[in-house]
Structure 1
Amino acid sequence: MTAKLANKVAIVTGAGRNIGEDVAKLLALEGAAVAVIDLDKGRADKVADDIIAAGGKAKGFVCDVGKEEDIIAAVKGIIAEWGHVDILVNNAAISDNKHMFDITTEEWNRTLAITLTGPFIFAKHAAKAMVEKGIAGAIVNVSSTSGYYGRDRAIGYTTAKGGIVNMTRSMAIQLAPHNIRVNSVVPNKIGSPVGRDTFNPDRKVVNLRNRHGLPADLAKAILFLVSDDSDFVAGTALWVDGGVSAIMPGSD
């Protein structure tokens, strides 16, 4: 059976652990050369080395997605390495976990820079690279159920993830003439919490699957959206939340 992403080049941000790591490894398993983007060089290199050891193609790239110069350098480095870009998965994010009275302006700005502005800038430069090479590309932005519902904390994070939702729609419209599809995924409590390494099996979850979401669950959904299997899917949000969004508030 032919690999779904044979000869493709994929960028995955925040790929040094958790969801990003699983996404990078699955895309590589399906034939893509993967640029493993992370702020931590050790994490990026380890994931890339794991992929190579399994017979795939990958390279780690250190990048602060809150800095445009880092993003530009990463995209140039990826093109120098593999010649083109076909896929971008905007996964990197941070959470403030703060009440609006407690968050500082600096914390607010940093949360939006990483979680909303970074995906915009990465998509901008990756899409330009796709257009220059005539690539029919695919971009997936990772949103969250927190982007659709209010919370009693994480005011910056919820704002940023809400922005991802409509940014995805506008990107889809603006990049459609260039044959680039843009979609988002909407996870809920998958793997370890944002910015943490440890998965807590005792973390309470309420959903229709009666289990915790796993990074592999989201990775498979993203694979669908970046492959030809979803050629007729554009500008939409794929909910990968175990059905939590279908439950009426107050339901047991």
Structure 2
Amino acid sequence: MKLSGKVAIVTGAGRNIGEEVSRMLAAEGASVAVVDLDEARAEKVAADIVAAGGKAQAFICDVANEDDIRATVNGVADALGGVDILVNNVAMSDNKHIFDITTEEWNRTIAITLTAPFLFGKHAAKAMAEGGNGGRIINVSSTSGYYGRDRAIAYTAAKGGVVNLTRSMAIQLAPHNIRVNSVVPNKIGSPVGKDNFDPTRPVSNLRGRPGVPADLAKAILFLASDESDFISGTDLFVDGGVSAMMPGSK
């Protein structure tokens, strides 16, 4: 198993990408902290992992609250024996035009999509450094962090921030043997904050199909494992090739 004996925190783990990442890391031997604000979702994912023979525990956290984040990281370290891997998956989208979004909506989107990865990274990295064995942090960015959109403003700003947050974290945490990278999905699974996935929705990419959570989970597993030991501070695009296409291409 690629992650035997490791402890992993996955945020936004109650559904979609976070759920699949939790299952995959557990299947590779990690003890997984399933972090979500929705207790029922978190408990179900953790219970399913345990029923399948893995190790997991649910942790309820409001990622817009630093005290909650700090308590969650400390709780994971105490309950599971440290922190080795952090997957910053949690996010929300505003889906608003600049004329329509309120300051409150802007602030909450930034808090959950950008500030939460910073705070989880800060507190988890401290636990990793104290453990003395290094660690791996994988931030989930988005193609929306590289391109503007006509129906989101705070989300694109936040995801763009995640891109450079990843690079600065990688530089600052390298002396502690902590590798930091990001994955960059495009239209994988259900839309951000939604439950329903429509596998027939039209996409324009080089693979000719929508992405599914397992596509991103496999990339995250790679970055969390020793197989990627010489990779740090980079962005792995898992977008079906859409970012390679000229705008307007079919």
Structure 1 counterpart of 2:107? 109
Distance 2:159 2:133 in 1: 28
Structure 2 letter corresponding to 1:54: A
Structure 2 counterpart of 1:19? 17
Tell me by how many angstroms 1:135 deviates.
2.1
Percent identity over the alignment is 74
Structure 2 counterpart of 1:217? 215
**Gap runs ≥5 in structure 1:** none
Structure 2 letter corresponding to 1:188: N
Which secondary structure state, in structure 2, belongs to the residue aligned with residue 102 of structure 1?
coil
Q: Which of 119, 124, 136 is 2:117 aligned to?
A: 119
Structure 2 letter corresponding to 1:42: A
Which secondary structure state, in structure 1, belongs to the residue aligned with residue 144 of structure 2?
helix
Structure 1 counterpart of 2:183? 185
Moved over 4 A (4+): none
**Gap runs ≥5 in structure 2:** none
Distance 2:161 2:223 in 1: 20
The answer to which of 8-17 and 78-87 deviates more is 78-87
Number of aligned residue pairs: 250
1:204-239 alpha-carbon deviations (Å, 9 max, x no partner): 210000001000000000000010000000000000
Structure 2 counterpart of 1:42? 40
> Aligned-pair RMSD on alpha carbons?
0.6
1:185-222 alpha-carbon deviations (Å, 9 max, x no partner): 00000000000000122322100000010000000000
Tell me by how many angstroms 1:136 deviates.
1.6
Distance 1:8 1:126 in 2: 14
Tell me by how many angstroms 1:42 deviates.
0.2
Question: What TM-score comes out, normalization by structure 1 length?
Answer: 0.98
Q: Which of 165, 168, 171 is 1:170 aligned to?
A: 168
Structure 2 letter corresponding to 1:138: R
Question: What TM-score comes out, normalization by structure 2 length?
Answer: 0.99
Tell me by how many angstroms 1:154 deviates.
1.0
Tell me by how many angstroms 1:38 deviates.
0.3
Q: Which of 221, 234, 237 is 1:236 aligned to?
A: 234
Tell me by how many angstroms 1:251 deviates.
1.3
